[in-house]
Amino acid sequence: MEYINLIIDNISDNTDMLYTFTSEIEGLKPGDKVTVPFTIRNKQHGAYVHSIEGQPDSSIKNYKQIIEKDPHISLPADAIEVCDFMRQRYFCRYIDAIRCFAPSGSPPKRRPRKDIFEGSDAEPADPPALTEEQETAVGRIAAFIDRNEHKVFMMQGVTGSGKTEVYIRVIGECIKRQKTAIMLVPEIALTNQTIRRFQERFGAGELAVLHSKLSDGERYDQWMRIRSGIAKVVIGARSAVFAPMENIGAIILDEEHETTYKSDMTPKYDTIEVAIKRADINNGIVILGSATPSLTSAFRAAKGQYEKILLTARYNKTPLPSVDIVDMREELKQGNKSIFSLELYRQIRSCLDEKKQVILFLNRRGYSTFLSCRNCGFVVNCKECNISMTFHKTEGEAVCHFCGRKTKAPTVCPQCGSKYIRYFGAGTEKVEEAASEAFPDAVIERLDMDTAKRKGSAEAILDRFGNKMTDILIGTQLVAKGLDFNNVGLVGIVAADISLNIPDFRSPERTFQLITQAAGRAGRGTDPGRVVIQSYTPDHYAILMAKDQDYDSFYETEIKIRERIGYPPYCDIIYLVLSGASEEEAAEGARAIKAAFLKRTGNDHIKNVLGPRPAPISKIGGLYRYQLFIKCSATDWDLYKEALWRIKSKAAKQKKKTWALYIDVNPFGFL
């Protein structure tokens, strides 16, 4: 008989601990799914094996016994160690981490499901010749794979330098050595483009896909293909980092700087950190690829924690696009109040005449950013969140982009009854309307979260653009990430200042990355591309350095600012949000958490605690929100972690608690 420590499959802080059961089932190992009697009534419940207990606890007289082992579901060998890491790093429950690895859905009850690769028209393709830089990169990385040695590489390559071909060659090296690989992309919309290239080289037999747009049944089938060892290569968005693979040789994150690699749902994990942990356990390598690496990755490369690989030239030798910055203040002075500057209009017209395609980028969806009465100043706000609602003209609705609440857009002012309700600001929907009026002969499509709601819609839009059926593609950051179309002659960045005005210390970094990445979609064929950046702050260093594609100067400028203010990568930011039904309850909870934290760490740490104060968006979903920031150096991490775990555990046990606590380590948003 063995004594087995289990994680109960139950989302509750009250059961977030290890439970010891006896077992007479031979060969149980960490990650196996079992059924156990649980609660006073001994109701059958799912659980996962965490560890094998050497000696029973003598204070416990009657252990319950495991009923059976699930014959189909067993997590990969590294899963429990990764889950332990996630629990300590991200303050999540055991089961929150376990469910990242576990399959969703269930086996098909009737006929087999359609293969998600069925109908693909990808034809086998011969590998292209490598440039000298690509050859060197593959050789350096393959050496570590060959030695079964863990290493993290930061591969910085200009847009169009052939990073994807390096990824494919590295994965090929893994397959040669009977290893597996995970290829991550920042957006689900990009998976089809990546899948096609991988199918052309490896065929569909050894590929699997994991992302949230698959149905539960499709996800289950893909999970089983991976777990059985049929699939050797997994492609997907961030959740694919948990693919149930053994003997992982490489985990690759394309566009590693993208914020989508940080989960904003429980567990609030950082995909890069999880990837590095899994690769370390498996003696595999990690590639963090980008033309604009995150400041944190670049900092770690500079310190020698990552090995840096540079790709300095475009694969096809085409020069980087020419870039013009338009001062929109001057446009206003000249009487131009339209969305398009005269220069952007002229270049779009020229591009269309040359039968080239255009991408227009604006990182804000909807038609107008807010509705207001010009008579009394009334603004249409969300009743649940107390923030301005965005007008979506297609639906005729005002929508809250935080809680999703919708209401019919008013035609008269609800406050004074006047008819002077007007729409202010611009989103992608308004840009689409303006482009249709300015260029009636062009075929125009829009790609944002509104048009990409339905399964397959984003892929269909991109396919039409790739097949040159669309002249102008308008979109949010979805169009700025990793798209590779060789007929794009012009990229127009409609409002470069939007990301600069977000209350976040990373705003300049995000702005530089968005502009550089968006600009990189132009001129990927044989002809040089063009870029027009419209801005009301054209002299900002992030915009000027993005114009010149000067990453090194931007890094040196920004890293000095981070060091001076003591922000990441010089520390971790632990972000605490207290929410309550009333503002007083949320504020009281925040004050109590701060006092408890300083009691456990000492008042000399008060300099590292910022707040409490109301969150920038002080009310979401009917709950009021207060926030605390804790700046945590590497030397303070163990102390702070222990203090926060004690606070979290004590808060979970309080029966009369009137607030809820949320903890996020290094979030990419503070709204």
Q: pLDDT tens digits, residue range 117-142?
A: 766 667 788 899 999 999 999 999 99
At 156 the pLDDT is 96
296: part of which helix (H) or strand (E)? Answer: helix 295-302
CA of residue 476 relative to chain centroid, distance:
15
At 450 the pLDDT is 79
Angle formed at CA 628 by CA 626 and CA 631, multiple of 5 degrees: 165
CA gap 22, 242 in Å, rounded: 29
Residues of the chain with pLDDT below 70 are 105-106, 108-114, 118-121, 190, 367-370, 385-387, 401-403, 423-425, 481-483, 524-525, 671
At 109 the pLDDT is 67
Q: For the chain, what is the radius of gyration of the CA atoms?
A: 26
CA gap 521, 532 in Å, rounded: 12
The answer to whether the 132-311 and 322-365+428-561 domains have the same CATH topology is: yes
CATH of domain 572-665: 3.30.70.600
At 62 the pLDDT is 86
At 275 the pLDDT is 98
Contact between 613 and 627 (Cβ < 8 Å): yes
At 423 the pLDDT is 65
Q: In terms of DSSP bridges, do strands 18-23 and 2-8 run parallel, antiparallel, or are they unpaired?
A: antiparallel
CATH of domain 132-311: 3.40.50.300
Q: What CATH number matches the domain at 2-101, 3.40.1440.60, 3.40.50.2300, 3.40.50.720, 3.40.50.1820?
A: 3.40.1440.60
Which architecture characterizes domain 322-365+428-561 according to CATH? 3-Layer(aba) Sandwich (3.40)
At 106 the pLDDT is 67
CA gap 184, 93 in Å, rounded: 25
Structural domain boundaries in the chain: 2-101, 132-311, 322-365+428-561, 368-425, 572-665
